[in-house]
Amino acid sequence: MATEIKAPSFPESVAEGTVGTWHKKPGDSVERDELIVEIETDKVVLEVVAVEAGTLSEVLVEEGDTVESEQVLGRIGEGGGESKEASEESSEKDEDDAKEDASEASDDKAEKKPAEAPKGGGEKRDVKAPSFPESVQEGTVASWTKKVGEAVKRDEVLAEIETDKVVLEVVAPEDGALAEIKIEEGDTVESEAVLAVFEVGAGGGSADTADQEAPKASADDGDSDEQVGDKIVAPAARKLIAEHDLDVSAIKGTGKDGRVLKEDVLKAVKDGGAKKSAPAKKASSGATAAPAVEGERPEKRVPMTRLRKTIAKRLVQAQQTAAMLTTYNEVDMGAVMELRAQYKDTFLKAHDVKLGFMGFFVKAASEALKRFPDVNASIDGDDIVYHGYQDIGVAVSTDRGLVVPVLRDTDSMKIADVEKGIVDFGKRGREGKLGIEDMQGGTFTITNGGIFGSLMSTPILNPPQTAILGMHKIQERPMAVNGKVEIRPMMYLALSYDHRMIDGKDAVQFLVTIKELLEDPARLLLEI
């Protein structure tokens, strides 16, 4: 039976996207979670992966076509025509290889207890925390991805360390196994502190006990499918089910052989039909089981992440130390939208990136910053630092919190370069791959609450900067144009600024300049 390939659910403010690149052709075999196609929206590039292994049987939407949220893009079949036998042979070979790898790992676990140091190894090495940047004094061990005695490959992630800005990965120096963990999850560490002891070459085991222990190893690792009741649940789906406390039996699996996939769980969360009933709720570990009553209100307490704590501290500091005011204006986005509609296809072919709104706003802000240097300045104690360049930070929302990567020398950047930079920031932000150097040294910040549907907000300064621009949702409203009422696509703009540095007159004129440049984009080219 063919499986549908659907576009992801777009955010509220994103109505449609464009099919960027198909990475597979009809007849090509695909593996589960393998990238098939990319969809470009106004802000980010979304990746569509295979929900199960098979053969791409049909492509329904071609590259360059516009698609809506959850639209069917293509179909995956079980076979591939004439090459079916070859595909099956390849698949069987891959399965055999995977079984061999699982057997080796399970043998390793069968010979040792988790709390014991691995046997039969060689040289022991210290596993150290990475060297932190100058501005980062310490970090927190967020998680250990491997247990003591567990076999690992070279460059495989052992632990994650969370700093004020980024998450740093600690990888295995060689093939081997963890012999000892010295720093537990949640503990604070300094630069190059010893986290664990690693034994090179350890972790190998006999293949005799693989068949007996493979299911147990699979369950412990959480890296493979698991039988839960009458359902087969994928690892990512299992994690989401635990987080949302869902009833597995109430979730319909769309994967191969009825497997419950991540997408199935997300759909169940959205629908709300798979929640466990109150009587079925389990008492927390270490507590006496209490009778569940109707109307019970559960609570969950988790420690605040280091990044979230830093964000909170900086926001409070900004409000307490700055003389912060906000001025508002509105801009008619009609001219920019018409320009995008006219040249979006040509722009995409020429630069291999979609023409969005942020490119226009960044270029308009760069021009306005040149005209009003106070807005581009920063306060350092009792000194004012004027910057002869424009490094504009773009606020990006991630699962761990808000981060602000910086576009360097935006005045000399082309709109295409801006769009490519923002797409790259968004992708790396979601993957947790932004480095500390990506988020330092900005002279001005742009935040876009409109992507989430915000119509109006008051952005908070990003110290030591003295101003921040807030973009909001494009909303059609009746406007008086040349004495007539017309429906126009309007956007509210907000400029929060430090009154210690910037006078109200300059703040208003700065915002008016951005408004004028956007309502007549030719001004950006002519610099008038």
pLDDT of residue 445: 94
pLDDT of residue 285: 45
Q: What is the pLDDT of residue 117?
A: 42
How much is the mean pLDDT over the chain? 79
Higher pLDDT, 401 or 27: 27
Averaged over 447-469, what is the pLDDT? 90
Please indicate whether residue 177 or residue 509 has the higher confidence score (pLDDT): 509
| Bridge partner list, 275 | 246
- Mean pLDDT for 370-386 is 92
User: Is it the case that residue 504 has pLDDT exceeding 60?
Assistant: yes
- Select from 524, 315, 518, 497 the least CA-distant residue to 404: 315
Residue 210 has pLDDT above 60, yes or no: no
Q: Cα–Cα distance between 503 and 518 in angstroms, integer? A: 23
Q: Which of 100-114, 313-327, 372-386 has the highest mean pLDDT?
A: 372-386
81: exposed, middle or buried (Cβ count in 10 Å: 0-12, 13-18, 19+):
exposed
Same fold for the pair 124-200 and 225-274: no
Q: What are the φ/ψ torsions at residue 379 (nearest 5 degrees)?
A: -105, 125
Question: pTM of the prediction?
Answer: 0.51
- Residue 319 clears pLDDT 70, i.e. is over it: yes
* C-beta of residue 253 within 8 angstroms of C-beta of residue 228: no
The predicted pLDDT at position 13 comes to 61
Identify the top-confidence range among 132-141, 327-336, 396-405.
327-336
Task: Look up 94 and say whether it is catalytic.
Answer: no
Q: Which of 97, 126, 409, 499 is catalytic?
A: 499
**CA-CA-CA-CA dihedral for 499, 504, 510, 512, to nearest 10:** 150
**Is beta strand 176-181 parallel, antiparallel or unpaired with respect to 188-190?**
unpaired
Residue found under tokens 């004439």: 82
Q: Is the pLDDT of residue 116 over 50?
A: no
Local structure of 398: helix, strand or coil: strand
Whether 115 has a pLDDT exceeding 70, the answer reads: no
Indicate the domain borders of the chain: 3-79, 124-200, 225-274, 306-526
One of 3.30.559.10, 3.40.50.1580, 3.30.9.90, 3.40.50.1260 is the CATH number of 306-526, namely: 3.30.559.10
- Quote the longest CA-to-CA distance of the chain: 87
Write out pLDDT tens, residues 145-159. 888 888 888 888 888
CATH code that applies to domain 225-274: 4.10.320.10
Provide the pLDDT for residue 114.
Answer: 45
Which range of 78-87, 97-106, 467-476 scores highest in mean pLDDT? It is 467-476
Question: pLDDT category, 209, cuts 50, 70, 90?
Answer: very low
CATH class of 124-200: mainly beta
8 Å CB contact between 213 and 109: yes
State the pLDDT at residue 446. Answer: 95
The pLDDT tens digits of the residues spanning 464-484 come to 899 999 999 999 999 999 999
CA distance 37 to 63: 9
Task: Name which residue leads in pLDDT, 480 or 110.
Answer: 480
What CATH number belongs to 3-79?
2.40.50.100
Cβ-contact 443, 426 below 8 angstroms: no
Query: Can 107 be counted among the known catalytic residues?
Result: no
Q: Which of 241, 257, 239 is nearest to 249 (CA)?
A: 241
Q: How far apart are CA 465 and CA 501, in angstroms?
A: 10
